[in-house]
Structure 1
Amino acid sequence: MNTKHFKMIRQHLLIALFLLILGIFDGSFSYVFQKYFYTNTMSLICRIMLMGLVLTIFFIPNERYIVLIAAIVGLIYDSFFTGILGIHAFLLGLLAYVLRYFADDIPHTPLFIGLVYVLSLAFVETGVYYINAFIGMTRVDFTDFVATTLGPTIALNVVLFIILYFPLSRLLLKLKTE
Structure 2
Amino acid sequence: MPYPEGHKIKVRGKIIESAAQAFRTNGIRDISVPFIMKGAGLTHGGFYSHFDNKEQLVAEACRYAIGDTIAYLREAAEKAKEEPKIHAVIDYYLSQYHRDRTEMGCILPALSSEISRSSEEVRNVYTQELERMIQFISDVGGIDRSTGSALLSTMVGSLVLARSVNDPALSDSLLSSGKRQAKELVAH
Structure having the higher Rg: 2
TM category, shorter: 0.3 to 0.5
How does the TM-score come out when normalised to structure 2?
A: 0.46
